[in-house]
Structure 1
Amino acid sequence: MNYQVKSLATIGLRITGCLRGVGYLGWFSLVATGLLPGPLLAQGSGRVSGTLLDQRTRQPLPFANVLLLRRSDSTLVGNTQTAENGTFALTDLALGRYVVRAQALGYQPARRAATLDAVAPVVRLGEWLVAPSAVQLSGVVVQGEKAAMVNELGKTVLNVDKDLNSAGGTAADILQKVPSVAVDDNGQVSLRGNASVTLYLDGKPAPPNLRLDQLPASRLETIEVITNPGAQYAAQGTGGIINLVQKKQTQPGWNGDALATVGTREKYTGSLSGNRQVGKFNFSGTLDGLSNLFHGSSSLQQVATVDGRTTRTDQTGASTRLQTNHSLRLGVDYAFSDEQRVSLTAQYYAEKYRTMQDFATLLARDPTPAFLLRNQNTQADNLQGSRVSGTYRRTWAASPGRELTASASYYLDIGTVTTQQRVLDGPASYASNARQQFLDVTIQMPSMQVDYVHPLDEKRRWEAGVKTDALLTPGTSDYAVQATPGGDFVRRDTGSYRYTYRQLIPQAYGSYRHKAELWEYQAGLRVEFTGLAAQVLPTGTARQRILNLFPSVTVAPTLPHDQRLQLSYSRRVNRPNFLQVIPLPFYSDARNYVVGNVDLRPEYVHVVELAHQLTWHATTLNTTLFGRFASQSIQSLRTIDTLATRRSGQPDFITRTSYANFGHTASYGLEISLTQTVTKWWKLTANGSYYRNQIASYSGDGTRAGFTGTAYLLNQFSPTKTLALQLSGEYRAPLVVPQGRLLAMYGVDVALRQRLFGDRAALTLRVSDLFNTRRQYTQLAAEGLATDLQTKYETRVGYLGFSWFLGGHKATSNLEDQPRGDTGGLGG
């Protein structure tokens, strides 16, 4: 049965209860956003709006600066920045004669006259085409700077190049800086405490084996976090969507950059990217690679009771993790005309992942004496793949806003994963053999999509689309033992499997949007069918056929004084992945394994958000109340496998981790984000969340709940015109999970960038986790089992990077011309 939100009153009561725990700070923020005194805000009834487009490609120009100057004396009256769809609006203007000036990096400055009078106080410039040009204009560099982080209603955009802490890092490092996002030591991403997050790569679902710690930050242009997606997005992901957008140069002529970074204790990254625009063609390419060696340590204490006897495990260990990756990405764009454009992209990658864990285990089982084991676990991943995609885009000059987009993509990933467990020292019964699991994996992901937008007039439009996603992954899992030390591994039929998994998801959506004088709203409906078939020989099969409807609606009233208010609702789904469904055991070591559940069903969630944004001079304040209510919640459970423990014949125990649907979960609370330009050389970004996380108890006897939250503070300094400095810190409060809790985690990073040779180069120095405080503590409990796990990876690392910029692409500062915030339509 799907969990339904009974009424808005129920949601209101829950949010009210949460606000009681927020305290005076939360209430102050809410009051401040809505009740700032009128004299502090600009007054007037005039308005100027438009959409900035590339003159040749008719693509939107996001993050461009739009200035409003008084025509008589060129005095600056107001300014804003275009949203991602190129739209902008200057509001609350006094009547008079003005000049609107638009400037974007790589484009000629453009001007438009605008006269606001009593008869026509509103000027709509419509589509404003801007001509590309070289960046250098009469000795003056025109820079349209992007902020390090742009907070929109329901969406956060992180511009990776502007975050100095990205130097030498990976996508996992960067995501740690995004509000309410957490990445654990295994690369699992969660948003507002919800691990059901859908990863996109360049606007399309990412392959299941995408490793964030293997994706260099230098390859990324932006990271977009969408907390409550509308009907145009796939419904998968109850936590939201994170879209990783890779770099793609489109400036005229030759452009590009080269980057090399060296980190302490054998960490190296490098990348080379560029583009060449010739006539109607634009060719682009990126070559990058990394080789990172990390060290870590861990400790594990477990107490288990089986058949009336108690076993205590006290384990300490040290580990090394070597990651290597290289990738080549090529693309070509061709403009048939100003209204038609096609693009093709091909990418090849290869990854290697090596881990080695050496640990000592002290085992004590009543009433026998304690004894010591020395173990070694190794894992070797060898993966490679190719990705091909193409997109056709059609617009109509006679009908601004009308657009047809068709795209197709195909991912092929193949590889092997080998894990081994050895006993180096201990009783003879333990050292008799070594164990190996060999996985041979193939993943194919074809996808096709068509979207169409049709404006009815300036205020109304409808949008529709169809899409089909498929996933096919056949593979084998071979279990082998080594009868004698140094001998060959011999395959055993018991413990070896062959599996296939097929998933097909056809889907369609439609939405309608209407912008009235005081209200803007959008309503949509998405239909998705899930067809799933899995077979594991010889253990079992799974099959699902599910049709679902996913409604969404967004309402945004118009408020005075550069304020935005937005209320949104959507229904979403968390489909279990194939590792959670197929009954195939994966051994992390000789005593612990993970296995899927063929009876696992999708989890459904209702998401409600009330967001408010205030822009005033150099300050942008975002406040969001959110509620997330799930049914058939998918939970990960760790228990003692009593049967396997008896069969092992050893004086210890074996644990089993699997998945189940049970109970309802809920999280509701407050999220605040503040962007403040303190001085010309100091910019401050702060965000935090405080919410109540409620989950069903693993024993099924009630719920477990607690208040938790996150906090992030980023200081950006520019002591000189060519030097930028960043100091940041984050904190994640303890979080309850079905069987226990995750303890707090926190850390501080520092980085600086010096631009050199007339902005042709940049030198970046950064230190992550300056005080070496980031570590993960987990406490779990189940029937007859208590676990306390502490993990510490190498997080304090120094990086030194050098970048060289080619053509019109130059190094830019991080603090100049920062935006005040988005003023676009629904969701930016």
Structure 2
Amino acid sequence: MNLFDYLFQSTRYCLVSCIANKINSQVFELKITVFLFWSRHLTRGRLALASWGKPWVFALVAAGLLPRLVAAQGPGQVAGTLLDQATRQPLPFANVLLLRLPDSTLVGSAQTAENGTFALAGVAPDTYLLRAEALGYRPARRLVTLRAGAPVLRLGEWLVAPAAVRLGGVVVQGEKAVVVNELGKTIVNVDKDLNSVGGTAVDVLQKVPAVAVDDNGQVSLRGSTSVTLYLDGKPAPSSLRLDQLPASRLATIEVITNPGAQYSAQGTGGIINLVQKKQTQPGWNGSALATVGTRDKYSAVLDLNRRVGKFNFFGSANAVDNRFRGSSGLQQVATADGRTSRTDQTGQNLRHQASKDLQLGVDYAPNDQERFTLATELYKSDLHQTSDFATRLTRGADPAIVLQNQNLEVDDLYNARISGSYRRTWAAHPGRELTASATYILDGGTVTTEQRVLDGPADYARQARQQLLDVTIHLPSAQVDYAHPLDDKRRWGAGLKTDVMVTPGTADYSVQPVPGAPFVRQEAGSYRYRYQQVIPQAYGNYQQKAGAWDYQVGLRAEFTGLQAQVLPTGSASQRIFNLFPAATVARTLAHEQRLQLSYARRLNRPNFLQIIALPIYSDARNYTVGNPDLRPEYVHVAELGHQVAWQNTTLSTTLFGRFASQSIQSLRTIDTVATRLSGQPDFIARTGYANFGHTASYGLELSLTRPLTAWWKLTANGSFFRSQVASYAGDGTRANFTGTAYLLNTFSPTKALALQLSGNYRAPLVVPQGRLLAVYGVDVALRQRLFNDRAALTLRVSDLFNTRRQSTQLAADGLTADLQSKYETRVGYLGFTWFLGNNKPASTIENQPKGDTGGFGG
């Protein structure tokens, strides 16, 4: 057993042991709590103790008494806003406890909202100890007194300080972990992840449990590729590719596995929100970062802000120029028209990615309760990819044909975005909030693919083929959200939103008769298309606190209307109305623990390329085409999560299940007609889409953050689940146990030096026609802060042992394929950062640039 396997097995054993003990103890405590409640409130023994062991009795107790479980009753109220002491940023999701003196009996508890506000009501006049607890901060305490003549106490701003540990006369500030797990949400603090320097959003997402990213930037979560991307709280443009988004642009990445009704229902796997950096400190502030990587990889980023009075001007500019080399292999056997053909292919490729991005914006806050924001972004991306192949074709007993062929791809894409938003709060009514926003995105460009035969038999077709896609996408959207507290324990919210998508475009097919000649457009094989989609949406939710319980229910309504036309092949339209319920029940337990059960119904809408009958050629022997009859995939998602924190350790555990119907599957088959018409001694493969059977995944996720010593912090997370899909062969289902594992060690031998060593593993995963094989690797990074924290130097090596590669095995009717690809993953990066103004890389994440989530909902 090697060192990595030993660490993985040891960590897994410890995690399983810890969580088993914690769950057993908490189930016992929960039963005792409900039993005592019934003992106080039920008369004449109407509930026999003998029935306590029946599960349905416990379920009825928990469900029926939620509205009646309340803290000590009284006319008083305590309210305030929890803020970071250094940055004065709000601290969401912190726990605020009200304890009776002198025995510290828990009277009530609350969790701060996203703007840091909290309120505890129903408090009798007395003197209490108020305690606030937030991850990465020192517990804050203060005495509060409520009198009969003044039952309402408004604390205003309550500032809390980051945690600190004293060691040998040196104070080391406590840090948030790279990965912070909340129930139903995982947050990756990008600035704390040294292994993302010089990388992309893909490098960051590898840290999240149950997330996998393939070589094409396709994200899957718990085995589902239906993941919705958000950028600053709003749906991201369709051209956004995670493997081309620099990690240096991001403040945090939020992965929400089971969103509530206030979120869009799109995305059966969940939502990934990419929060970009945004400075808000007074005066001039910012940072400049330059990174160079081995074998022609360069990037540069500049972030600036200027806050003057009621205005905050912010902006950023970045540029990336990377070259990646790779290799691939294909072994494919097909039987068509009674004859068997075999393709053996090896390839080398060079991918050149270059992008430029400019963001500008301004915030205007006329007072503490209102804020206007106007922002714009311009993005330009160029991709040039050349793939050279050696291909051997064999059909039956005929002599083999050896070819030297080449595939070219050139993407020239652009994106422009302008957005405006308004936010209104009311100081006299904590929790009341109105937000409105409008966004327009223009997404477009051209994608050109070519296939050439460079060398081969004279009777083999030597002409080159080209497809030119000209795409323009208009994406206007508008939304409004309102939250209104009925009192300190009850609140409701509602929102409206409309998303529009209009996509006209062309796909021209051309051939080059002889090398060097102009390409000649072919009417047969060329298309014009227009796709438009309108999705009006509305939601409402209700939330109530009842003692240690917190529950929320919501309903979302969405209508999908689309019209697709492809000339000369035909048109299609859909009109679909859906309701999506969501519910969450949470229980705060003793010793800083929380238990949460959630459910949501969601869907996966097919994108326009999956619907329109437009063939897109990836190479000379494969093409992809949409299905106008494709319908949305529907899924039911349930999660039971438990989180406990003791001292500086946090352990999160989640049991989850995802069950989908009308599952959208990607299927590869042989196009016998195209094969016959080609006249070549090989075959043409077709990739299409279909609603095919049911899929399911259910299992366990664990996440542990623990300091082992004053200079060594461990973060470990993983998932283990059963993935089940309908078999394409029609013989039932295909299933396997799979999962992911991630282990991060952070070492801080000195105040200015940090070292991170991490490893991740994704187990094999079944698909309807085969399986994806395992992917794993190890990364290492070192950061030295310089010039009194004014600068930082980072050295990073990704995929230290050069083990990450993608392998896929497929099997269909008359077709088997084995595909391998190995992109350049072992890369060394050297980055230098200079911090401007008051922005310095202090040892706490709280002093790093904050992102603006932009708000969700609608």
Q: Shorter-chain-normalised TM-score: which range?
A: 0.7 to 0.9
In structure 2, the CA distance between the partners of 1:125 and 1:319, relative to structure 1 (3 Å rule), is farther
In structure 2, the CA distance between the partners of 1:24 and 1:265, relative to structure 1 (3 Å rule), is closer
Distance in 2 of aligned mates of 1:612 and 1:235: 25
Partner of 1:28: 17
Distance in 1 of aligned mates of 2:388 and 2:216: 18
Distance apart, 1:125 and its partner CA: 7.2
Distance apart, 1:60 and its partner CA: 2.9
Whether 1:181 aligns to 2:211 is yes
Distance apart, 1:28 and its partner CA: 3.1
Unaligned runs of at least 5 residues, structure 1: 1-21, 73-79, 134-139, 819-826
Whether 1:796 aligns to 2:826 is yes
Amino acid at match of 2:143: A
Distance in 2 of aligned mates of 1:37 and 1:321: 53
Partner of 1:726: 756
> Superposition pairs for residues 649-688 of structure 1, below 5 Å?
649-688=679-718
Q: Tell me, yes or no, if the aligned pair for 1:252 and 1:276 is still in contact at 8 Å.
A: yes
Distance in 2 of aligned mates of 1:701 and 1:685: 42
Partner of 1:271: 301
Partner of 2:49: none
Amino acid at match of 2:142: A
Whether 1:535 aligns to 2:524 is no
In structure 2, the CA distance between the partners of 1:89 and 1:709, relative to structure 1 (3 Å rule), is farther
Amino acid at match of 2:799: D
Partner of 1:764: 794
Distance in 2 of aligned mates of 1:435 and 1:420: 6
Partner of 1:412: 442
Q: Tell me, yes or no, if the aligned pair for 1:375 and 1:424 is still in contact at 8 Å.
A: yes
Partner of 1:459: 489
Distance in 2 of aligned mates of 1:806 and 1:104: 28
> Superposition pairs for residues 337-736 of structure 1, below 5 Å?
337-736=367-766
Q: Tell me, yes or no, if the aligned pair for 1:52 and 1:127 is still in contact at 8 Å.
A: no
- Aligned CA RMSD, in angstroms, stands at 3.5
Q: Tell me, yes or no, if the aligned pair for 1:63 and 1:145 is still in contact at 8 Å.
A: no
The alignment partner of 2:637 has SS state of strand
Q: Tell me, yes or no, if the aligned pair for 1:33 and 1:621 is still in contact at 8 Å.
A: no
- 1:328 corresponds, among 358, 373, 376, to 358
Partner of 2:44: none
In structure 2, the CA distance between the partners of 1:458 and 1:52, relative to structure 1 (3 Å rule), is same
Whether 1:773 aligns to 2:803 is yes
Distance in 2 of aligned mates of 1:672 and 1:56: 32
Distance in 2 of aligned mates of 1:142 and 1:719: 11
The alignment partner of 1:645 has SS state of helix
Distance in 2 of aligned mates of 1:482 and 1:241: 44
- Taking structure 2 as the reference length, what is the TM-score of the superposition? 0.85
Q: Tell me, yes or no, if the aligned pair for 1:717 and 1:815 is still in contact at 8 Å.
A: no
Partner of 1:169: 199
- Taking structure 1 as the reference length, what is the TM-score of the superposition? 0.88
Whether 1:242 aligns to 2:272 is yes
Distance apart, 1:649 and its partner CA: 0.4
Q: Tell me, yes or no, if the aligned pair for 1:606 and 1:628 is still in contact at 8 Å.
A: yes
Distance apart, 1:513 and its partner CA: 0.2
TM-superposition CA deviations, 1:617-663 (whole Å, max 9, x none): 11111110000000000000000000000000011000000000011
Unaligned runs of at least 5 residues, structure 2: 1-10, 30-70, 103-109, 121-125, 162-169, 849-856
Amino acid at match of 1:168: G
Q: Tell me, yes or no, if the aligned pair for 2:454 and 2:462 is still in contact at 8 Å.
A: no
Distance apart, 1:147 and its partner CA: 2.7
Distance apart, 1:177 and its partner CA: 1.7
The alignment partner of 2:718 has SS state of strand
Distance in 1 of aligned mates of 2:553 and 2:93: 27
Partner of 1:129: 157
Whether 1:259 aligns to 2:289 is yes
Q: Tell me, yes or no, if the aligned pair for 2:839 and 2:847 is still in contact at 8 Å.
A: no
Distance apart, 1:815 and its partner CA: 9.0
In structure 2, the CA distance between the partners of 1:605 and 1:203, relative to structure 1 (3 Å rule), is same
Q: Tell me, yes or no, if the aligned pair for 1:57 and 1:338 is still in contact at 8 Å.
A: no
Q: Tell me, yes or no, if the aligned pair for 1:56 and 1:338 is still in contact at 8 Å.
A: no
Amino acid at match of 2:440: Y
Partner of 1:200: 230
- 1:807 corresponds, among 834, 837, 842, to 837
Distance apart, 1:23 and its partner CA: 11
Q: Tell me, yes or no, if the aligned pair for 1:406 and 1:451 is still in contact at 8 Å.
A: yes
Distance in 1 of aligned mates of 2:472 and 2:846: 48
Distance apart, 1:31 and its partner CA: 2.1
Amino acid at match of 1:314: D
In structure 2, the CA distance between the partners of 1:103 and 1:773, relative to structure 1 (3 Å rule), is closer
Distance apart, 1:112 and its partner CA: 7.0
Distance apart, 1:172 and its partner CA: 1.6
Distance apart, 1:208 and its partner CA: 1.1
Distance in 1 of aligned mates of 2:213 and 2:377: 26
Distance in 2 of aligned mates of 1:153 and 1:492: 56
Distance in 2 of aligned mates of 1:786 and 1:304: 7
Q: Tell me, yes or no, if the aligned pair for 1:563 and 1:613 is still in contact at 8 Å.
A: yes
Distance apart, 1:51 and its partner CA: 3.2
Partner of 1:137: none
